[in-house]
């Protein structure tokens, strides 16, 4: 299976640049940095041993920031390279990475691109985040004796069913890792079932993230614009959920005519499309990306920008987490919990199953199922300040209790990090990769 994949992907090589150019034209790739996607470096390599951390997109890349900070303190002799695959994550990394940490776009999984990338950067250790199992990239690393660890590994039930059809290939790829750390017990069981016999669960690395940042001047300006209006936030919504949020807003207006709904879609580039849909339904919408002002007449303020979620979580203490009213698995509820928000989410929270259930049990979160129950839950929290404060306090306490996961994960990685710091490679699975 692996051989067939490698032959098939190699045959696509002549068309990859055309595909990347088309994605760049749609804003899905950075045209100035397309060579990086073909394995050509955009930065000089520092001297000495280098740890490579690969994260797919925004959530994964943000989750490794605390780990990077710890590596910089505990292993100052190690250079750090971070690769991601999306334009949005690259912009965030440009803002958030510590000075001296290098960001590059991940190479596409073509043999030539992978070879260029690995030959140039020569990592002493690769840390792969969540579920980025690219065969050429992983096999190329292990052929060079580069030890690999799969950290904060995640595998949904849906992905497991799909991957079982490719179990021999998946088992071989999972076998290339010296260490597999699952983010939940459910992920651990699924990964073991697919071939990662030694997978362990030490906790979710996202619990160690610091509260999201916000521009204090902009926060003060927006608070002044909101004034005393009742306000709530629908965060990280997916297609289909914005219509539900609009319906909930209309229902809320019956009892709270001056209510303000903040709406931050998971993919900000969808902002104009969402605004058009909501306006067609009769909503008064202001679009942040178009610099439309938030006024007393604004019913829904569409926060379609990148890197400002910390602003919106601070502006409202009632938050509905998106991706949960439709079967997307939900988004990270710990981010608003750390910023004193009472939480709401739908039934689909498989991506954070243990955390979501723990927040509900702690009294920090309430599940909803549709526009009517969402509106009713928001009204209850708007009208009951004590209940809102109790939920926020419970969420903050729950999130604080999870934060020790970073120490445990770094301890598990210590043998690999120590070897990397010495500049040595782990040949243990070199032959298996050939």
Distance CA 257, CA 250 (A): 9
Calculate the CA dihedral of residues 5, 155, 305, 39 and round it to 10 degrees: -30
60 is a catalytic site residue: yes
What's the full length of the chain, in residues?
434
Residues 352 and 359: their CA atoms lie apart, in Å, by 10
Question: What is the distance, to the nearest Å, from the Cα of residue 225 to the centroid of all Cα atoms in its chain?
Answer: 30
As a whole number of Å, the CA-based R_g of the chain is 23
Catalytic residue among 29, 32, 36, 60: 60
Rounded CA separation 220/208 (Å): 27
Alpha-helical regions (H) of 12-86:
13-25, 34-37, 58-63, 65-74
Q: Tell which residue, 319, 315, 339, has the closest CA to residue 226.
A: 315
As beta bridge partners, residue 200 has: 181
DSSP 318: E
Contacts of 235 (CB under 8 A, 6+ apart): 264, 309, 312, 313, 319, 320, 321, 322, 331, 336
Instruction: Report how far residue 381's alpha carbon sits from residue 364's, in angstroms, rounded to the nearest whole number.
Output: 12
Per DSSP, the three-state class of 409 is helix
265 contacts 58 by C-beta, under 8 angstroms: no
404's CB contacts (< 8 A; 6+ apart) are 203
Torsion, Cα of 243, 249, 250, 256 (10° steps): 180
CA-nearest of 58, 62, 95, 98 to 81 is 98
3-class SS of residue 302: strand
Active-site annotation, residues: 60
């Amino acid at each position: 299976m692996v051989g067939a994949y490698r032959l098939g992907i190699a045959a696509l090589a002549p068309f990859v640049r055309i595909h990347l150019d088309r994605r760049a034209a749609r804003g899905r790739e950075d045209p100035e940095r397309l060579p990086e996607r073909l394995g050509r470096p955009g930065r000089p390599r520092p001297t000495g041993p280098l740890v490579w951390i690969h994260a797919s997109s925004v959530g994964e890349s943000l989750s490794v920031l605390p780990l990077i900070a710890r590596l910089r303190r505990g292993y100052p002799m190690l250079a750090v390279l971070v690769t991601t695959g999306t334009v949005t994550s690259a912009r965030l990394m440009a803002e958030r990475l510590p000075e001296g940490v290098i960001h590059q776009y991940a190479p596409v999984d073509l043999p030539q691109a992978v070879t260029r990338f690995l030959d140039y950067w020569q990592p002493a250790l690769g840390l792969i985040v969540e579920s980025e199992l690219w065969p050429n990239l992983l096999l190329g690393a292990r052929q060079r004796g580069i030890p690999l660890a799969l950290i904060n590994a995640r595998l949904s039930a849906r992905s497991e069913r799909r991957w079982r059809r490719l179990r021999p290939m998946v088992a071989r790829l999972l076998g290339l890792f010296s260490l597999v750390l699952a983010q939940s017990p459910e992920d651990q069981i699924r990964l073991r079932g697919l071939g990662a016999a030694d997978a362990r669960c030490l906790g979710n690395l996202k619990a160690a993230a610091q509260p999201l940042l916000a521009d204090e001047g902009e926060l003060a300006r927006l608070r002044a614009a909101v004034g005393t209006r009742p306000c709530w936030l629908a965060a990280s919504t997916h297609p289909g959920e914005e219509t539900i949020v609009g319906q909930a807003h209309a229902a809320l207006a019956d009892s709270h005519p001056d209510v303000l709904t903040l709406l931050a879609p998971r993919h900000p580039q969808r902002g104009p499309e969402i605004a058009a849909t909501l306006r067609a339904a009769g909503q008064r919408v202001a679009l942040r990306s178009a610099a439309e002002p938030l006024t007393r007449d604004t019913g829904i303020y569409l926060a379609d920008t990148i890197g400002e979620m910390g602003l919106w979580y601070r502006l409202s203490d009632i938050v509905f987490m998106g991706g949960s009213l439709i079967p997307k698995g939900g988004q990270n509820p710990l981010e608003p919990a750390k910023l004193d928000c009472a939480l709401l989410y739908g039934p689909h929270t498989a991506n954070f199953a243990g955390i979501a259930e723990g927040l509900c049990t702690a009294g920090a979160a309430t599940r909803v199922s549709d526009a009517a129950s969402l509106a009713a839950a928001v009204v209850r929290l708007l009208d009951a300040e004590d209940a809102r404060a109790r939920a926020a306090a419970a969420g903050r306490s729950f999130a604080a209790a999870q934060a020790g996961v970073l120490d445990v994960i770094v301890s598990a990685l210590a043998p690999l990090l120590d070897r990397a710091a010495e500049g040595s490679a782990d040949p243990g699975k070199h032959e298996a990769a050939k």
